[in-house]
Amino acid sequence: MIDMWDEDKIHDFRATLLNWYDEAGRADLPWRENHDPYRVWVSEIMLQQTQVQTVIPYFNRFMSMFPTLNDLASAPEQALLKAWEGLGYYSRVRNMQKAAIQVRDDYQGVWPDHMAALEKLTGIGPYTAAAIASIAFNEPVPAIDGNAFRVFARLFKIDADIAQPKTRKVFFELGLQLIDPARPGDFNQAIMDLGSSYMSAKNFDSEHSPVKQFNAAYADGTEEFYPVKTKAPKPKPITYFALAVKSPAGYLWEQRPADGLLANFWTMPLYALTDFVNDPDADWTIAEMIAATEQRLLTDYGVKATLTKLAGRPVTHVYTHQKWTVTVLTAEVTEQDLTRGTWRPKTALAADPQPKIQEKIWAKI
């Protein structure tokens, strides 16, 4: 049960928060130059798993490549993936293009101006819909993201588990009561800024926070316990082998299938240990695994090579549900006819969209 403030306290909170935002808010962020829903949308999707300072150059590059919704809707997928390269979660940019096509075709290029309608677009959930609706269209709906969870949980000492989907409704209903109806977009952005600064997850500084007098968790020194969140399962560990095979014509290079993880990206050949071994805990030596990989290289690509394990630690990369540990195997061969993939000079590879794991492999060799 939330001990809700009275109207006077809510009014004081709004005024205090927005006065601070007007004085200290990050107005220099490129997506805050105006209230264009397209720019708001692109920035919010990019910011979902990435810090603000990291997003800025990606946002500027993306907007220069696709300055309008129509440009995004009609973009070739390879250009789209290249523009998103390094941000991860590539299904998001694919969904963005689907949503752009929906707005172009189903809404005659005019953005829906209410949260409920925005949620019907591909890849737009409650948070992003509320952010667009409030910032671009002044609809008084709270944008409940990690920052809002953290700020509201500490202000009111809410002990509901934010990992539970039903908890979002609790915070949304609270936000509906708190949000400033005259400046809903600024209110939501102020909560974002507050949650990433004075009320951050770690190294928070509530003593100097502009809203410390409203912070119930600060008053009794319990901030570190809010918000309450049960831990997600650990990502599943998967062992991979990357084949850095080089000929006079370049590296063995291929585009991944159109579905599955890293769909349509370009990489060196990648094999999971489970491609060779039914039981990943089986007691195989590295020599046996390399021999099996050499056989698959010949069978799948028509390349006969002697592979050598690259010295040093394997490359690692964590996805939402998987943790990859990639051992790099290298070989130099004469140019051979391929049954799959292509030989590509390294100087020509930069134009191909590549996932983060491939960038880490390049850094290794």
CATH number of domain containing 320: 3.90.79.10
Asked whether residue 2 is domain-assigned, the answer is: no
Tell me how many domains the chain contains. 2
Q: Could you tell me the CA-to-CA distances from 237 to 230, 240, 348 in Å, in that order? A: 21, 10, 33
Task: Identify whether 231 is part of a domain.
Answer: no
Give the three-class secondary structure for 320. coil
Backbone angles phi, psi at 300, to 5 degrees: -85, -35
User: Would you say residue 12 lies in a domain?
Assistant: yes
Q: Which of 171, 198, 225 is the last residue of a domain?
A: 225
pLDDT of the chain along its 365 residues, tens only? 788 999 999 999 999 999 999 998 777 899 998 999 999 999 999 998 788 889 999 999 999 999 999 999 999 999 999 999 888 888 899 999 999 999 999 999 999 999 999 999 999 999 999 999 999 999 999 999 999 999 999 999 999 999 999 999 999 999 999 999 999 999 999 999 999 999 999 999 999 999 999 999 999 999 999 999 998 889 999 999 999 999 999 999 999 998 888 888 999 999 998 887 766 566 778 888 899 999 999 999 999 999 999 999 999 999 888 999 999 999 999 988 999 999 999 889 888 999 999 999 999 98
Q: Is residue 220 domain-shared with residue 261, that is, in the same domain?
A: no
> What integer pLDDT is reported at residue 279 of this predicted model?
62
Domain end among 164, 191, 225:
225
Whether 77 and 169 map to the same domain: the answer is: yes
Residue 51 sits in the same domain as residue 183: yes
Shared-domain flag, residues 312 and 220: no
Cβ atoms of 131 and 47 within 8 Å: the answer is no
| 165 shares its domain with 283 | no
In a domain, 230, yes or no: no
146 and 18 co-located in one domain = yes
Q: How big is the chain, counted in residues?
A: 365
User: Exposed (0-12), middle (13-18) or buried (19+): which is 232, by Cβ within 10 Å?
Assistant: exposed
* Residue 76 sits in the same domain as residue 202: yes
The answer to whether the CB of 331 falls within 8 A of the CB of 308 is yes
Q: For residues 26 and 129, state if they share a domain.
A: yes
Within-domain flag for 86: yes
Closest by CA position to 117, among listed 136, 90, 92, 91:
136
- Same domain? For 204 and 255 the reply is no
Q: Are residues 96 and 203 in the same domain?
A: yes
Domain holding 254, by residue range, is: 236-363
The residues that are catalytic are 44
> Residue 282 has what pLDDT?
62
Q: Would you give the DSSP letter of residue 323?
A: E
Per-residue model confidence (pLDDT) at position 65: 96
Sign of the four-CA dihedral 148, 153, 156, 159: positive
CATH number at residue 105: 1.10.340.30
Instruction: Please name the residue ranges forming H helices in 120-274.
Output: 126-137, 146-156, 167-178, 184-195, 216-219
> In the listed set 158, 191, 225, which residue is the last one of a domain according to the structure?
225
Q: Which of 112, 111, 141, 110 is nearest to 127 (CA)?
A: 141
* Res 2: pLDDT: 86
Same domain, 111 and 204: yes
Does 76 reside within a domain? yes
Tell me: the pLDDT tens digits for 213-261?
Answer: 999 999 999 999 999 999 888 999 999 999 999 999 999 999 999 888 8
Tell me, yes or no, whether 23 lies in a domain: yes
Instruction: Kindly state whether residues 247 and 181 are assigned to the same domain.
Output: no
